[in-house]
Amino acid sequence: MGLFQPIPNPATDRTRPLADRMRPRTLEEYAGQEHLIGPGKPLRTQIERDDTGSLIFWGPPGTGKTTLAKIVAAMTKAEFIEFSAVLAGIKEIKQVMADAERARQYGTRTIVFIDEIHRFNKAQQDAFLPHVEKGNIRLIGATTENPSFEINAALLSRCRVYVLQPLTEDQIVQLLKRALTDEDRGLGRMNLRADDNILKKIASYTSGDARAAYNVLEVAAGLAQQSGTQPPEITDHIVRDALQKRTLLYDKAGEEHYNLISALHKSVRNSDPDAALYWLGRMIEAGEDPLYIARRVVRMAVEDIGLADPNALSLCMAARDAVDFIGMPEGNLALAQAVVYLSVAPKSNALYTAYGDVQHDIEQTAAEPVPLHLRNAPTGLMKGLGYGKDYQYAHDVEGKVANMQCLPDNLRDRVYYRPTNEGIEKRIRDRMEEIKKLRSTRKSRDST
């Protein structure tokens, strides 16, 4: 037995959690991921051909990443070594690699399964590279984080990445029904009753996580037995007690964090207040830092509304102050008010685009000096050098617009800000046209 091989433990051991006992043993028992293991699909074809190579399974918790790795090992007749990235270090990795290399010399293939592979640092991940290249091992890594960001490019390039999706409610309901009737591995001996609506409630509250659903069912089964009713029945009240609080898929520093804030921002941009409120609620109820949300909401105000409704920024700053002042959960309505206001406000990205063009010109053009007529001349020397010469004080000019160049010569005709016809920007656009005419008139007068 290898250093990291699990101690044999039959599926009928009643001391093991229900989720572990009900773990599928074959592809036929496996639920979900039809896009990968359905007939003729890529991963199934590779497994049947015994040509899987090294794999990365990326998906949320409870979608069957570990289970799929074990099924692959069983179907390909390979030695299966499992360990967690949380516990293993370089020394342990080298020992496993040495064992795998010796096993290969005797004709035994080894699959090394690493749970939470994203927790390995660069040096630990690099330790696998030569052994993957030589074929000493087939590496299967499981991660809830985006492999593009968390796994070294060299190792990632040697693996096929498969994305696992959360299970649907119907799929989880079927798994729960199987657990209720299975007498060997499940809860069949308890003769429990649970109607479909109860199972659907468990499925909906566990967000596509089969492990979480099994855990809730197991707790609910125990509560039903303690209730004394015959036969024991899992009721709505029992499920509420077992759930305590809904399981929300979320990681403040991970992929889902960015997915949800992206959904919130894009819903606001698309003027959909209902969707914006929903995604806001998902983040708040999952425990996201409300000040992080407030900062992003302020950004939405300046990026997507801008001068089409200048009040948007003021309201979002007030919402941020309210969250900071009264805290949560009371501050959630301040954020809700802000995102609804932003959603229904007129939209303009004119300022966002303008500043992007400014940044481009700053990076790509010469940084010419400030024109002399725009410089202050607080000393006689500076005045003698021409600082401030020919400056035109706009308040002394008719229409308050002087015929004076304010950009450097290499950008003299550049236009950055182009207001839209949305909201207040329509008035700004009209005013800019008026300024343009005044400047043109002034220019004509100065040239005669």
CA angle, 185 as apex, 184 and 186 as ends, to 5°? 105
Q: How far apart are CA 217 and CA 199, in angstroms?
A: 9
Q: Output the six-digit token pair for 367.
A: 């940084």
b/e map 202-230, b = 16+ CB within 10 Å: bbebbbbbbbbbbbbbbbbbebbeeeeee
> What is the pLDDT at residue 263?
93
On the CB side of 155, CA atoms within 13 Å amount to 26
On the CB side of 296, CA atoms within 13 Å amount to 22
> Rounded mean pLDDT of the chain?
84
Q: Which range (45-59, 189-203, 261-275, 292-306) has the least confidence?
A: 45-59
Q: Among 434, 417, 435, 407, which residue's Cα sits nearest to residue 306?
A: 417
Q: Using one digit for the tens of pLDDT, what is the confidence trace for 130-187?
A: 778 777 788 888 888 888 888 888 888 888 899 998 899 999 999 999 999 998 889 9
The residue with tokens 């400056």 is: 391
> What is the pLDDT at residue 252?
53
Task: List all residues 6 or more positions away from 131 whose beta carbon is below 8 Å from its beta carbon.
Answer: 97, 100, 101, 137
CATH number of 255-344: 1.20.272.10
Q: Which amino acid is at 335?
A: L
Q: How far apart are CA 336 and CA 231, in angstroms?
A: 46
Q: Does the structure show a pLDDT above 50 at 1?
A: no
Q: Which range (217-231, 242-256, 350-364) has the least confidence?
A: 242-256
> What is the pLDDT at residue 8?
47
- Burial zone of 68 (CB within 10 Å; 0-12 exposed, 13-18 middle, 19+ buried): buried
> What is the pLDDT at residue 272?
93
Its pTM stands at 0.58
Q: Give me the sign of the Cα torsion angle 321, 326, 332, 337.
A: negative
Residue 139 forms beta bridges with which residues?
A: 112
Report whether 349 contacts 417 (CB < 8 A): no
Q: Output the six-digit token pair for 230.
A: 């015959």
Does residue 376 sit in helix, strand or coil?
coil
Q: Does domain 169-243 have CATH number 3.40.50.720?
A: no
Q: What is the secondary structure of 248-270 as a DSSP string? A: ----TTSHHHHHHHHHHHHHHHT
For residue 311, is it left (φ>0), alpha (ψ between -120 and 50) or beta? alpha
Question: Could you give the residue range(s) of every CATH 1.10.3710 domain in the chain?
Answer: 371-447
Distances (CA, A) of 250 to 75, 263, 339: 33, 14, 21
Q: Output the six-digit token pair for 276.
A: 């914006």
Report whether 389 contacts 374 (CB < 8 A): no
Report whether 86 contacts 116 (CB < 8 A): yes
Q: What is the secondary structure of 67-81 as a DSSP string? A: HHHHHHHHHTT-EEE
Percent of the chain with pLDDT over 70: 91
> What is the pLDDT at residue 305?
94
Question: Could you give the residue range(s) of every CATH 1.20.272.10 domain in the chain?
Answer: 255-344
Q: How far apart are CA 437 and CA 322, in angstroms?
A: 44
What angle do the packed helices 196-205 and 169-181 form, to 10 degrees?
120
Q: How far apart are CA 404 and CA 394, in angstroms?
A: 9
**Mean pLDDT for the stretch of residues 245-253:** 53
Q: How far apart are CA 296 and CA 290, in angstroms?
A: 10
Question: Could you give the residue range(s) of every CATH 1.10.8.60 domain in the chain?
Answer: 169-243
Q: Does the structure show a pLDDT above 50 at 4?
A: no
Report whether 173 contacts 204 (CB < 8 A): no
Q: Does the structure show a pLDDT above 70 at 90?
A: no
Fold of 32-163: Rossmann fold (3.40.50)
- DSSP classification of residue 370: P
**Mean pLDDT for the stretch of residues 340-356:** 93
Q: Name the band, by pLDDT with cuts 50, 70 and 90, for residue 383.
A: confident
Q: Does domain 371-447 have CATH number 1.10.357?
A: no
Q: How far apart are CA 220 and CA 242, in angstroms?
A: 5
Does residue 111 sit in helix, strand or coil?
strand
Task: List all residues 6 or more positions away from 3 whose beta carbon is below 8 Å from its beta carbon.
Answer: 92, 95, 96, 99
User: How far does CA 432 lie from the centroid of its chain?
Assistant: 41
Question: Could you give the residue range(s) of every CATH 3.40.50.300 domain in the chain?
Answer: 32-163
